[in-house]
Structure 1
Amino acid sequence: VNLRRAEVRTLVGAGAGAAIAGTFGAPLAGAFYAFEIVIGAYTPASIAPIVAAALTGTLVAQLFGQQPYLIQETANVAVETHHYLIYAGLAVICALVGIVIMRAVALVEAGTRWARFPGWARPAIGGLCLIPIAMLSPQALSAGHGALHADLMLGTSLGFIALVLLAKSLASIVSLGFGFRGGLFFASLFLGTLIGHLFAGLLQLAFGHPVVDPYHAAMVGMAALAVAVIGGPFTMAMLVLEATQNFSLTGAVLAASLVASTIVRELFGYSFSTWRLHLRGETIKSARDIGWTRALTAGGMMRREAHPTHASTSVAAFRQRFALGATSRVVLVDGDGHYAGIVQTAAAYVEGTSSDAAIGTLAISKDAALTPDMTILTVMKRFDASGADELAVLDDGRRVLGLLSEAYVRRRYGEELDKSQKELFGE
């Protein structure tokens, strides 16, 4: 079945949204996850299928007796206005912790590549490294659901929570750094809850009385760290709202999520998923689809140049072959057939130009050229850097394949951008 890019993204978003909705029993959170993380925009064309998939996922999970992953918030204390400032501080801490974890994963992953371990040895060594961490706290290997109940609902000490926080962070870094499959979504929820609970406990120790409710702080920390690592502030706000039915807490969660998201984008620039793509050579910062920019290459857009002119040709012979106005530019090659620049036809007719001189003396853009695999974004940057109106496309041996004009490249970019926007909005 031939599907457009936008349709494929909608299908992937619907599947991801349904899975999140079914897991957490939160259809709104699932829908916003699809919009913010997968599709990258809220569009009329995707609302109906995404929402339908999220609702279906929730209903199917309920029919099979699936218990929601998230713990229920049990606090009865209202969130007051000054709590927003306190939770903003918690959001700053979560943002910094998220950046540290993401950097650490990248460093460990780079270290394992530098060590040149065989493919089978990386996960084996990673598993060995996890053994002492698991012996320190088996909760480090958990997804987090049962551990949350054990640590928060049963009143575990702050020291033990700090230990589990450290162990779980190390386990996540080792697992991903040594090539285990998976991400940090569930780990970020677990770690954020621990940070929030630890934050509330430390405030109580510092001031001698409860400053914020530990369960509220756990929910805010969960959302803030998840937003720092994964992205999607509205996703986490809806998740907390559907889990707690607490609108005042949801407002604090949304504020903290926005603070965490802003800090991460300013200091780091990426969520975890886009950061890992960045490490593999991608340059995206969000879920926005830029696949079409990679499909448009210089080789696909160029105008074929079958018979380039020798640079040693005299100006007089050039005038006989190319009349003024017949063509604007001519590609030149040297005696070995290698690229030697581009000459503007009008330059050969300038008064005072010697008719016996070699046309190669009038050539421009000798060092500025394109390769056929360059994407349209790279091509436009090359045009901006060179200041040329047209550039030659060369193979690895600097032989001329074709010619590409800046005007045509800009027009193609505008056409594809408009097409992409229309697909996004279902037009």
Structure 2
Amino acid sequence: MATQAHNLPIIDRFGLAPSTLRALVRRSEIWLAVLGCVTGALSGLFVAGMTACTQWLHEVLFGISSSQRLSAVDTLPYRWFFIAPAAGGLLLVAVAWLHRQYRTGSPVDPIEANALRGGKMSFVDSLYIAVQTVISNGFGASVGLEAGYTQIGSGAASKLGEAFRLRRNDLRILVGCGAAGAIGAAFSAPLAGAFYAFELIIGTYTLASLAPIALASICGVVTASLLVTPNHAVEFAATVEFGKSAAVTLVVLGLLSAGAGILIMRAVTGVETLFKKSRTPVWIRPALGGLVIGLLAMITPRILSSGHGAISIILEPNLPALQAILFLLVLKALAAAVSLGSGFRGGLFFASLFLGALLGKAYTAAIMLVSPALAPDPQIAAVVAMTGLAVAIVGGPLTMTLLALEMTNNLPLTIGVLCTAVVSSLTVRRTFGYSFATWRFHLRGEAIRSALDVGWMFDLTVRRLMRHDVRTVPETMTIDQFRHEFPLGSTQRVVVVDGEDRYRGIVLVADAHSETLAGAGTEHGGNAPITSLLRYQDAALLPWMNIKEAAQRFDATESEALAVIDGTTTRNVVGLLTEAHTLRRYTEELEKARRSLAGD
């Protein structure tokens, strides 16, 4: 028996792990943590592979050496390099066309998957996003690879979790493991990777998710470090001291970071709107955007790609001239907005770090012109603003604070960084309400603000909640006939329909038997039609409404029960739903969600 179990394949031909392994993982948190380690290592492999591919593309297309980073060079050897982003845009369109021939629907990112789908993602679609990201970054578009890293890592985690038939909450945790391993590997920052998963992919921190997420992040870092050389450490020379003036400086810098983040997010959607209003064909937009990026790169190559090389230069202790910093800041922000707005695939994670560092240096240079004594150290300001702007755009104040700590290895600096991160996060939440990811969901019409699991709410529809045994009467029935057929105590309410079984309203049995009605004149007497007692004639539920929409409809109509009709045109009655049952089921699901957060 042991030999047979040992010879079982990891994944069988039905895409499932052997039942023995599935039982172990479903039964024990320790084995879920082991699965998290595997997921983190896979993410580290993907990060190393995507990084190597983009670096190779940079070397081939832009003529740089293997020791150089594209955004760190002052000049490029080839005159024709400016057409590379446009060529990448055309290749991107070709890949998208090929994908549409075999796949339907839009790919789902980790946040949306965990918020609405219980962690279920398509690995094929995730691979497609990763390929698009590599093409975009590799051909010089001003986008980061981090979105592709987390997409492919989380997609692989979801596929692995489905092979083990993980429960909904466990699958969401494993998707977080994929993202944690990817971000941890990308920055050699296990703490930042773990909290990226907690804050952005899972939406909360729980003891149940701590072990698998933390181990996944560590395994991702270790795996990637064996394959590629980490290059995000910052040599910090400044002495960190925070007095009263420094506190004011940090608050102002946090406010500026929040404002700059909102402007950049608005700029991306502004470029998209311009393309739509210009009626430019979708297939040519990435090429046109690439041409603009190429022309901007002729001014300075530092705007190309995500900016890994350039940020190392910006985070040095020196302070360039204010005009030069502002010039690069504007060009990089414009390049990022054009890249994403024209259809290139990627994210603003690393671009926000680069832009934030530029903002911090510009802030110091501006204060130096007014009052040198009040100016913060340029390197400190760069790191602090880098965190503030990243929090504004990406979200995750603790993630970005820990990333700054792991990049600088400077614990005292963390106090200032955390202060700015909190100010920036609070300002964006109060004035704008979205990070870049959730802003994109908002534009698509998705009602989610984080990765917290609200998918159960959308799955719990009126069709699943309603009673099907609805008692109906024709609208031609008189009140006396109604009293005879429905004596007091027989039921609470009856639905009235017309001759074609279309919904007319609801009659309460108590209304029909009330003493006032019994002694009324001919208008409301026993021979009057039952339609004179109708309630909620214009209020009904539809089967596809979710439980939240149903609760809102009950509240708006001040009703205790509503009929369910099959459509706004036919209006045939298919069921009945009471407010009490809706609220009870809503409470039960909330309690289940609370228990899962507590690890029960």
Same fold (TM over 0.5): yes
Identity of aligned residues (%): 47
Please identify, of 132-141 and 399-408, the stretch whose mean Cα deviation from structure 2 is larger.
Answer: 132-141
The correspondence for 1:54, drawn from 204, 217, 242, is 217
Structure 1 counterpart of 2:54: none
Matches within 5 A, 1:237-256: 237-256=401-420
The correspondence for 1:347, drawn from 478, 496, 511, is 511
Question: Which residue type is aligned with residue 381 of structure 2?
Answer: A
Question: Which residue type is aligned with residue 172 of structure 2?
Answer: R
Matches within 5 A, 1:280-291: 280-291=444-455
Please tell me whether the aligned partners of residues 151 and 161 of structure 1 are also in contact (alpha carbons under 8 angstroms): no
Please tell me whether the aligned partners of residues 94 and 192 of structure 1 are also in contact (alpha carbons under 8 angstroms): yes
Cα separation, 1, equivalents of 2:281 and 2:171: 35
SS of corresponding position for 1:303:
coil
In the alignment, is residue 407 of structure 1 matched against residue 580 of structure 2? yes
Cα separation, 1, equivalents of 2:315 and 2:405: 19
Question: Which residue type is aligned with residue 587 of structure 2?
Answer: G
Structure 1 counterpart of 2:65: none
The correspondence for 2:330, drawn from 166, 170, 187, is 166
Please tell me whether the aligned partners of residues 457 and 548 of structure 2 are also in contact (alpha carbons under 8 angstroms): yes
In the alignment, is residue 398 of structure 1 matched against residue 593 of structure 2? no
Please identify, of 258-267 and 83-92, the stretch whose mean Cα deviation from structure 2 is larger.
Answer: 83-92
Structure 1 counterpart of 2:264: 101
In the alignment, is residue 375 of structure 1 matched against residue 546 of structure 2? yes
Question: Which residue type is aligned with residue 360 of structure 1?
Answer: T
Cα separation, 2, equivalents of 1:401 and 1:372: 8
Cα separation, 1, equivalents of 2:351 and 2:298: 19
Cα separation, 2, equivalents of 1:149 and 1:241: 16
Please identify, of 172-181 and 151-160, the stretch whose mean Cα deviation from structure 2 is larger.
Answer: 151-160
Unaligned 5+ runs, structure 2: 1-161, 519-524
Cα separation, 1, equivalents of 2:416 and 2:278: 45
In the alignment, is residue 302 of structure 1 matched against residue 466 of structure 2? yes
Please tell me whether the aligned partners of residues 184 and 230 of structure 1 are also in contact (alpha carbons under 8 angstroms): yes
Structure 2 counterpart of 1:14: 177
Please tell me whether the aligned partners of residues 296 and 335 of structure 2 are also in contact (alpha carbons under 8 angstroms): yes
The correspondence for 1:388, drawn from 555, 559, 570, is 559
Cα separation, 2, equivalents of 1:118 and 1:393: 43
Query: Are the structure 2 counterparts of residues 319 and 210 from structure 1 closer, same or farther at C-alpha, using a change threshold of 3 Å?
Result: closer
Question: Which residue type is aligned with residue 419 of structure 1?
Answer: K
TM-score by length of 1: 0.95
Question: Which residue type is aligned with residue 409 of structure 1?
Answer: T
TM-score by length of 2: 0.68
Query: Are the structure 2 counterparts of residues 413 and 110 from structure 1 closer, same or farther at C-alpha, using a change threshold of 3 Å?
Result: farther
Please tell me whether the aligned partners of residues 348 and 362 of structure 1 are also in contact (alpha carbons under 8 angstroms): yes
Cα separation, 2, equivalents of 1:113 and 1:10: 38
Cα separation, 2, equivalents of 1:73 and 1:313: 86
Cα separation, 2, equivalents of 1:162 and 1:143: 18
Query: Are the structure 2 counterparts of residues 311 and 114 from structure 1 closer, same or farther at C-alpha, using a change threshold of 3 Å?
Result: farther
The correspondence for 2:531, drawn from 339, 347, 360, is 360
Please tell me whether the aligned partners of residues 183 and 189 of structure 2 are also in contact (alpha carbons under 8 angstroms): yes
Matches within 5 A, 1:177-256: 177-209=341-373, 211-256=375-420
Question: Which residue type is aligned with residue 267 of structure 1?
Answer: T
Deviation at 1:144, TM superposition (A): 1.4
Structure 2 counterpart of 1:142: 305
Structure 2 counterpart of 1:28: 191
Cα separation, 1, equivalents of 2:461 and 2:579: 13
Question: Which residue type is aligned with residue 379 of structure 1?
Answer: A
Please tell me whether the aligned partners of residues 75 and 216 of structure 1 are also in contact (alpha carbons under 8 angstroms): no
Q: What CA deviation, in whole Å up to 9, does each residue of 1:227-259 have, x standing for no partner?
A: 011111111111111222212111000000000
Cα separation, 1, equivalents of 2:166 and 2:534: 47
What CA RMSD, in Å, does the superposition of the two structures yield over aligned residues?
1.8
Please tell me whether the aligned partners of residues 310 and 332 of structure 1 are also in contact (alpha carbons under 8 angstroms): yes
Structure 2 counterpart of 1:257: 421
Please tell me whether the aligned partners of residues 73 and 244 of structure 1 are also in contact (alpha carbons under 8 angstroms): yes
Question: Which residue type is aligned with residue 243 of structure 2?
Answer: T
